[in-house]
């Protein structure tokens, strides 16, 4: 009996260690992938808080900083990292020389000048953390940021409402009604996903020119009212997971098709609706090609994507301003994603269930 118990404990311990090792490996690689994914964003943040002088300075740190200087006898002197017998010291260079130079210790200036043997040009500068928050204020003024954000927000709101209205109705029809040739029509609709946008670009632009819509928001907003295959597919897949018995119960109570949609289908479809809202808002926020074509001659109507590209073309010599403007444009989509994260993930998971 004693031997049997010992084997069971040992086997269980081995399984526990093995499972723990698997969890550690999975967590480790997940952390590495997350770090690799967030590294460009972190670099963008640090660069947005740097000054142009730091970006072009040799040996400057990656984090926002300014050269460290020390005031001695009414004058400012640059501070260098000087190797000594007691380790690397941060001393202010007072008198420069080829073979020897004189420094002052900022921590103990009363000790007087310190003579150091060596070429001061080989010494690295000392830096202190300093964030250039003024970059964001400069972007706010130079890019006319409030106007661009207003245009983008209005386009996103109207476009999202139009997408939900049209796609919900089309998906409801495909998921609940018996229509002759419904499967064929749905196949044709889904096949439009594979149609490249470049194929329809010239005919679509020609139509909008004939309608005299170029230079307005109409070419961007009106097509959204006619639904799209991607969102219709996700909504239809979600609607199919809702039992038809609930529709029949509503019909017994006297509800018509439209009333059933409002009272039965939509209240249970908030996860997929929120997921599609996040998808569409991010799409509109990042859409560049359409607004660039139809609003190129009307800067007052352009969204943030086109305005940012125009701003980059003007201030291409100042990467700090470009990164600051980029960060300011992604604030609202990021807030929206984290606010709707729970419903967003639930909607994505459920729409992937095959019915």
Q: What is the pLDDT of residues 104-163, one digit of tens each?
A: 999 888 888 989 998 888 899 999 999 999 999 998 888 888 899 999 999 999 999 999
The overall average pLDDT reported for the chain is 86
pLDDT grade, residue 11 (50/70/90)? low
Is 348 strand, coil or helix? Answer: helix
Q: What is the pLDDT of residue 33?
A: 84
Lowest mean per-residue pLDDT among 19-28, 48-57, 295-304? 19-28
The structure's pTM equals 0.77
| pLDDT band at residue 194 under the 50/70/90 scheme | confident
| Helix axes of 229-240 and 341-351: crossing angle, nearest 10 degrees | 80
pLDDT of amino acid 3:
46
Residues in contact with 299: Cβ distance below 8 Å, sequence separation at least 6, in sequence order:
307, 310
Enumerate long-range contacts of 109-116, CB under 8 Å, 24 or more apart. Answer: 109/70, 109/72, 116/82, 116/84, 116/91
Residue 341 has pLDDT above 80, yes or no: no
- DSSP, residue by residue, 174-212: HHH---TTHHHHHHHHHHGGGS-HHHHHHHHHHHHHHTT
- Under the banding of pLDDT at 50, 70 and 90, the label for residue 346 is low
pLDDT in the model for residue 255:
85
Q: Residue 204: pLDDT band by 50, 70, 90 thresholds?
A: very high
- Summarised one tens digit per residue, pLDDT across range 211-230 is 999 999 999 999 999 999 99
- pLDDT higher than 90, residue 335: no
How does residue 91 score in pLDDT terms, banded at 50, 70 and 90? Answer: very high
Per DSSP, helices labelled H in 2-144 are 2-48, 52-56, 134-142
pLDDT at position 184 is 92
pLDDT of residue 9: 46
- For 318-330, the pLDDT digits (tens) are 889 999 998 988 8
Backbone angles phi, psi at 90, to 5 degrees: -95, 105
Give me the pLDDT at residue 212, please. Answer: 93
Range scoring the smallest mean pLDDT among 21-25, 67-71, 347-351: 347-351
What is the side-by-side order of every strand in the sheet holding 69-72? 69-72, 75-84, 87-95, 100-104, 113-117
Q: Which helix (H) or strand (E) holds 149?
A: helix 145-176
pLDDT at 292: 92
More confident residue, 349 or 75: 75
CB contact set of 180 (below 8 Å; sequence gap of 6+) = none
d(CA 294, CA 307): 14
Going by C-alpha positions, the residue among 199, 264, 283, 190 that lies closest to residue 233 is: 190
pLDDT band with cut points at 50, 70 and 90 for residue 103:
very high
> Looking at the predicted structure, is the pLDDT value of residue 352 above 80?
no
pLDDT at 17: 59
Dist. CA 271–CA 265, nearest whole Å: 12
What's the pLDDT score for residue 144?
Answer: 86
CA angle 300, 304, 310 (to 5 degrees): 75
């Amino acid at each position: 009996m004693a031997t049997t118990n010992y084997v069971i404990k040992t086997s269980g311990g081995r399984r526990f260690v093995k499972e723990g090792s698997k969890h550690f490996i999975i967590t480790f690689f997940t952390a590495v992938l997350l770090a690799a994914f967030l590294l460009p964003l972190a670099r963008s943040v640090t660069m947005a808080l740097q000054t142009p002088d730091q970006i072009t300075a040799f040996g400057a740190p990656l984090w926002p900083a300014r050269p460290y200087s020390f005031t001695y006898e009414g004058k400012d002197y640059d501070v260098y990292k000087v190797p000594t017998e007691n380790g690397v010291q941060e001393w202010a260079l007072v008198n420069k020389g080829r073979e020897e130079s004189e420094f002052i210790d900022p921590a103990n200036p009363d000790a007087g000048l310190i003579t150091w043997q060596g070429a001061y040009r080989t010494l690295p500068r000392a830096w202190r953390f300093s964030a250039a928050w003024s970059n964001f204020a400069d972007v706010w003024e130079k890019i006319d940021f409030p106007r661009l954000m207003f245009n983008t927000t209005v386009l996103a709101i109207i476009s999202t409402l139009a997408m939900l209205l049209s796609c919900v109705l089309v998906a409801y029809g495909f998921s609940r009604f018996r229509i002759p040739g419904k499967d064929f029509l749905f196949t044709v609709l889904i096949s439009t996903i594979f149609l490249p946008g470049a194929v329809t670009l010239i005919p679509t632009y020609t139509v909008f020119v004939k309608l005299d819509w170029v230079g307005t928001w109409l070419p961007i907003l009106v097509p959204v009212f006619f639904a799209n295959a991607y969102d219709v597919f996700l909504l239809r897949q979600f609607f199919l997971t809702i039992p038809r018995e609930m529709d029949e119960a509503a019909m017994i109570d006297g509800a018509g098709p439209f009333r059933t949609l409002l009272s039965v289908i939509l209240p249970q479809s908030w996860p997929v609706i929120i997921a599609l809202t996040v998808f569409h808002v991010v799409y509109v926020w990042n859409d560049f090609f359409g607004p660039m074509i139809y609003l190129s001659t009307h800067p007052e109507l352009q969204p943030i994507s086109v305005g940012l590209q125009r701003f980059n073309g003007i201030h291409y010599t100042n990467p700090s301003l470009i990164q600051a403007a980029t960060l300011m444009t992604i604030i609202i989509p990021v807030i929206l994603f984290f606010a709707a994260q729970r419903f967003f993930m639930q909607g994505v998971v459920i729409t992937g269930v095959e019915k």
